[in-house]
Structure 1
């Protein structure tokens, strides 16, 4: 699934299709915004952009990190490990994170200014204590499905437009899995922000290009 990165040129616009286009909003939660336990730099800046975009779509889906206390992806669950180190778990190498988005805590809530009323579905992920989940489609074993693919197929979706946090982790893996499921996939750059851990943003952009994910800006849709 090769394809080139696409950026709007000379004011090019994308005509949205009301019945087959979906806005997929990834993890715009308090813990990923400034002041949160795993804050993405300028993460809150995506909120007004996403709010503006969501009014253009008939189909909106949200994802929400929803970890159990003591989740295996937390550094605090591994003696001698610090956040952002790695550990080998049964499904592979796992970055260890600060405790974040724990079920029922304020940090797991959506950002207060994010408009969620238009969302028709919320996919909660990472709720299995032994397994993390970056993608909206699969847990990190790349086999355990969230059910999103079937939902989108039954709704007749053809194009997915991804926004949210963070570009180089949950947005990236969601975009790659969307391509693997044969959806035409767009990442809206100015409606995302990255952690950029040791060059992870550049690596994410390269992976998107290899798999035919289009990168655009919100200007192409507004």
Structure 2
């Protein structure tokens, strides 16, 4: 069984958000295409309390219940089967979807007999990378859809380093076009 995991595709990470991935909006059409090929779709959300120590490191973003924490209107939201909430405590946490506080992602995937996980979303260097590395540690065949993933590019070379680290750890890099043309969903 294959599952699609959309990481933190939230308004605050889009170009007009408080912690923007400059090309974050460009991944939405690709993710919508991908969603048509999966029977199990999971999405994570940063869901921070208003006064979190997390904001000592980052600008305030994705505060629980805020417009910035919501999925963009252009995302095909009704296709999402499960939403994971992470970063919900007053900690510098919630980088990986496997850190969700409302449900154990690993248990949910096992319950649905998922062995292959296709990951996309925002941002390459932080939450996507941490989710990919945790998926690999948990033993999932892990694919990262590059054209459905965008980086924040805070420092030159960070995004490339993240791609290299994920691939070195065992992730398979792919694209939407390659998947819809080659893989049998």
Selected match of 1:201 from 148, 159, 183 = 159
Kindly indicate which of the two structures has a greater share of residues assigned to helix.
Answer: 2
Q: Tell me the residue number matched to 2:174.
A: 216
Aligned-residue RMSD, C-alpha:
1.5
Does the 8 Å contact 2:124/2:149 carry over to 1? yes
| Runs of 4 or more above 3 Å deviation | none
Q: How does 1:13-28 map to 2 (within 5 A)?
A: 20-28=1-9
**Deviations, residues 98-118 of structure 1 (Å, cap 9, x unaligned):** 000001111011011101112
Q: Tell me the residue number matched to 2:133.
A: 176
Which runs of 5 or more structure 1 residues have no equivalent in the other structure?
1-19, 76-95
The Cα of 1:146 is off from its aligned counterpart by 5.3
Q: Secondary structure at the match of 1:157?
A: coil
Q: Tell me the residue number matched to 1:152.
A: 109
Q: Tell me the residue number matched to 1:101.
A: 62
Aligned length: 179
Distance 2:27 2:142 in 1: 19
Distance 1:62 1:156 in 2: 18
Q: Secondary structure at the match of 1:137?
A: helix
The Cα of 1:205 is off from its aligned counterpart by 1.5
Task: Find out whether 1:166 has 2:123 as its counterpart.
Answer: yes
Does the 8 Å contact 2:7/2:128 carry over to 1? yes
Which runs of 5 or more structure 2 residues have no equivalent in the other structure?
181-185
Q: How does 1:81-100 map to 2 (within 5 A)?
A: 96-100=57-61
Q: Secondary structure at the match of 1:58?
A: coil
Q: Tell me the residue number matched to 2:23.
A: 42
**Deviations, residues 98-151 of structure 1 (Å, cap 9, x unaligned):** 000001111011011101112111100000112321100137xxxx89510010
